[in-house]
Amino acid sequence: SQQGEEDPQALSIQEGENATMNCSYKTSINNLQWYRQNSGRGLVHLILIRSNEREKHSGRLRVTLDTSKKSSSLLITASRAADTASYFCATARQGGSEKLVFGKGMKLTVNP
């Protein structure tokens, strides 16, 4: 079964607005990662946050992690049309098998 669940499943915003995506998971994790996928292509890694970190930034991206609530959020600030893509969270379980488990993804549309 999927470990991560992104919310909302789809989001449509205007260029310049901020986009927030949430991810919930079920078990203790080693790390949580966010990936982006442009239509029909491979996934691109965006950011990794470890279980002992609470917040991380990379350019216009800000990721938070709340292990007590088993949730993470990805904030994209000042969105651009090029940010239109599907976004996935992926978790690596703590102490479990070392594979990454991906959520079903969230479709972000940024309108020019």
Partner 1 sequence: KAGVTQTPRYLIKTRGQQVTLSCSPISGHRSVSWYQQTPGQGLQFLFEYFSETQRNKGNFPGRFSGRQFSNSRSEMNVSTLELGDSALYLCASSLFVAKNIQYFGAGTRLSVL
The answer to the question of residue 43 lying near partner 1 (CB under 8 A) is: yes
Strands (DSSP E) contained in 29-70 are 29-37, 43-50, 55-58, 61-66
> How far is the C-alpha of 46 from the C-alpha of 74, rounded, in Å?
10
Spatial distance between the Cα atoms of 103 and 23, rounded to a whole number of angstroms:
8
What would the x/- binding string for partner 1 be over residues 45 to 84, using CB under 8 A?
x--x------------------------------------
Q: List the one residue from 2, 12, 28, 58 that touches partner 1 (CB under 8 A).
A: 2
First to last CA, the chain: 36
Question: In angstroms, rounded to a whole number, what is the distance separating the alpha carbons of residues 76 and 18?
Answer: 6
Residue 51 or 73: which CB sits closer to partner 1? 51
State yes or no: residue 26 binds partner 1 (CB under 8 A).
no
List residues near partner 1 by CB under 8 A: 2, 30-31, 33, 35, 40-45, 48, 88, 92, 97-105
